[in-house]
Structure 1
Amino acid sequence: MSSLVFDTHKFIRRLREAGIEEKHAEAIVEAFQAAQSEMQPVTRDYFDVKLKSEIESAKSDLIKWVAGLLIAQAALVAALLKLFTH
């Protein structure tokens, strides 16, 4: 697992320069570090699975639309044939 490495002293110094009290700056840095340690990296496999799922969903929707349009077209042709043959 990879982790994000940053200079906590520099982070605290920047917060202090922005007007944040030292104890608050330290608490912010500690909270940031805790959140960072709980992060789950998003892998390429996750994106591949997600993308494949989206493609399958789009493919299914497209097939439904095309089938519906073919049925509607067949009904229209049948109606027109009936209208013009009588």
Structure 2
Amino acid sequence: MSTITFDTHKFVRKLKESGFDEKQAEALTDAIQDAIADSELVTKRDLQIELAPIRADMSLVKWMLGAVLAIAIANFAKQFF
């Protein structure tokens, strides 16, 4: 999985601008950074890689369903026309 970037300096600065003191802002930033590091976040690229085989399988199923329907319609038409 890819690494998620987290601008800690910018985050601390925004917290301080909104009323947090330096110590609170840094503690909250550290907690969030630890949570991000411990989690298994998925990026769009990760999803694209994982979903590619599923999309290919779905395309195959669509093609097969179309072929089965065409055969069924041909048999129906053959019997009644």
Secondary structure in 1 matching 2:5: coil
1:37 shift after superposition: 1.1
1:54 shift after superposition: 1.8
* Aligned partners of 1:15 and 1:25 also within 8 Å: yes
Q: Which residue of 2 aligns with 1:74?
A: 75
- Total equivalences in the alignment: 78
Runs of 5+ in structure 1 lacking a partner? 81-86
2: distance between equivalents of 1:5 and 1:18? 19
Runs of 5+ in structure 2 lacking a partner? none
Deviations 1:15-70 (A, max 9, x none): 11123x2254234312321122124465x676334202221123113312321232
1:38 aligns with 2:35: no
1: distance between equivalents of 2:78 and 2:72? 10
Taking a change above 3 Å as real, the CA distance of residues 62 and 24 of structure 1, as seen in their structure-2 partners, is farther
State the TM-score, normalizing by the size of structure 1.
Answer: 0.58
1: distance between equivalents of 2:30 and 2:66? 53
| Aligned-pair identity (%) | 22
Structure with higher Rg: it is 1
1:28 aligns with 2:35: no
State the TM-score, normalizing by the size of structure 2.
Answer: 0.61
* Aligned partners of 2:6 and 2:33 also within 8 Å: no
* Aligned partners of 1:12 and 1:25 also within 8 Å: yes
2: distance between equivalents of 1:18 and 1:56? 50
